[in-house]
């Protein structure tokens, strides 16, 4: 089969591309390199089954051309900075919702009937049930979560209209090799600037679950292989949760740093943040999937990777 991966040079998209190549697929990576890195896909450059297209999903003509003869789209391009939506009300709408609609329209023009889409725990907002199951209501507290929820609805509708098969994955935060944004990244940059004091945006008590990237990729392809519905919606998460303080302590321990922590906020770190994120993976568990890597080990692997690739912290 021939696959196109939007955002395929990004943190998660590049791992999807790796797995597709490993499985013998023909892969087109489509990325504008706003956050993606050539470093993450350069090991495929000599592979005849790999093609790299530098382009934006908002460019309908280039996207349409790139989708010719493709069988399956992994639409992983997105604006993933949850915090920035509070100040910039356009960016999530354009890069998450309008971009997804462009993908869906160009899929329709090219007769493509399979799509995989990474959604987010943010669609649930401040959920009242933990672990949070897939049938919980949408109540996003950020424009990022709101546009991801809307994009899910667009995919659901197009799939219903045109008899497509859709796979929607609601992620907790992912960690691991090629990680380029999030708490680990932010704190390592802060420590470079001030190795004596670490400012934290919350009071340290928010509770979050995370998933190591290789476990997440395994979950994605397990679902694609085993899920039989027309529209398949699955949470991807971990049984474990850590407070922000516990996460920070692991980061400091791995970096062998001792310093003062300064708490700047309360129960949440910024407008739109969620205090408690823990998704139920009961549906996915029925396929025999379980995460193999603890959150702590995933954090440590992420730090080691960033230390080996310090250019990513610039």
Assess whether 156 and 182 both reside in one domain. no
CATH number of the domain where residue 162 is located: 3.40.50.720
Q: What sign does the CA torsion over 41, 3, 124, 243 have? A: negative
CA 35, chain centre distance (Å): 12
Peptide linkage before 131 cis (omega within 30 of 0):
yes
Assess whether 10 and 151 both reside in one domain. yes
Assess whether 144 and 182 both reside in one domain. no
Query: Per residue of the chain (314 residues), what is the pLDDT tens digit?
Result: 999 999 999 999 999 999 999 999 999 999 999 999 999 999 999 999 999 999 999 999 999 999 999 999 999 999 988 989 999 999 999 999 999 999 999 999 999 999 999 999 999 999 999 999 999 999 999 999 999 999 999 999 999 999 999 999 999 999 999 999 999 999 999 999 999 999 999 999 999 999 999 999 999 999 999 999 999 999 999 999 999 999 999 999 999 999 999 999 889 988 999 999 999 999 999 999 999 999 999 999 999 999 999 999 98
Cα separations in angstroms, 289 against 110, 177, 193, 241: 34, 21, 41, 18
DSSP 138: P
pTM above 0.95, yes or no: yes
User: Is the Cβ–Cβ distance between 223 and 232 less than 8 Å?
Assistant: yes
Alpha-helical segments (H) within 10-142: 11-22, 60-66, 91-92, 99-109
Assess whether 27 and 137 both reside in one domain. yes
- Tell me which residue range forms the domain holding 111: 2-174+211-236
Q: What's the total number of domains in the chain?
A: 2
Report the catalytic residues. Answer: 144
Assess whether 11 and 100 both reside in one domain. yes
Cα separations in angstroms, 124 against 79, 157, 168, 263: 18, 20, 14, 26
Cα separation, 236 vs 208, whole angstroms = 13
Backbone angles phi, psi at 225, to 5 degrees: -75, -35
Half-sphere exposure of 171 (CA within 13 A, CB side): 21
Assess whether 227 and 275 both reside in one domain. no
Assess whether 187 and 83 both reside in one domain. no
First to last CA, the chain: 38
* Tokens encoding 172: 């907790």
Assess whether 182 and 255 both reside in one domain. yes
Assess whether 162 and 200 both reside in one domain. no
Assess whether 121 and 183 both reside in one domain. no
Assess whether 10 and 124 both reside in one domain. yes
* Tokens encoding 93: 């709408």
Assess whether 196 and 307 both reside in one domain. yes
């Amino acid at each position: 089969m021939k696959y196109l991966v939007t955002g395929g040079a990004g943190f998660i998209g590049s791992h999807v591309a790796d797995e597709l190549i490993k499985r013998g697929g023909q892969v087109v990576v489509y990325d504008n390199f706003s956050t993606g890195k050539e470093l993450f896909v350069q090991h495929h450059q000599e592979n005849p089954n790999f093609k790299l297209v530098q382009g934006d999903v908002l460019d309908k003509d280039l996207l349409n051309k790139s989708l010719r003869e493709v069988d399956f789209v992994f639409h992983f391009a997105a604006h993933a900075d949850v915090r920035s939506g509070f100040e910039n009300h356009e960016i999530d709408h354009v890069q998450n919702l309008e971009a997804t609609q462009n993908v869906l329209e160009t899929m329709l023009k090219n007769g493509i009937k399979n799509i995989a889409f990474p959604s987010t725990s943010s669609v649930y907002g401040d959920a009242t049930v933990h672990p949070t199951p897939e049938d919980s209501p949408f109540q996003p507290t950020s424009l990022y979560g709101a546009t991801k929820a809307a994009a899910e609805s667009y995919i659901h509708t197009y799939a219903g209209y045109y008899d497509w098969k859709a796979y929607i994955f609601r992620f907790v935060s992912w960690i691991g090799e090629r990680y380029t944004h999030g708490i680990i990244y932010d704190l390592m940059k802060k420590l470079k600037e001030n190795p004596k004091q670490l400012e934290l945006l919350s009071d340290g008590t928010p509770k979050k679950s995370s998933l190591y990237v290789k476990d997440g990729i395994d979950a994605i392809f397990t679902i694609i292989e085993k899920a039989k519905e027309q529209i398949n919606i699955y949470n991807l998460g971990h049984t474990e949760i850590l407070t922000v303080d516990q996460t920070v302590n692991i980061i400091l321990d791995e970096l062998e740093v001792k310093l003062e922590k300064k708490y700047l906020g309360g129960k949440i770190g910024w407008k739109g943040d969620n205090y408690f994120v823990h998704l139920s993976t009961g549906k996915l568990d029925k396929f025999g999937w379980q995460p193999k890597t603890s959150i702590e080990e995933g954090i440590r692997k992420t730090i080691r990777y960033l230390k080996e690739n310090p250019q990513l912290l610039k």
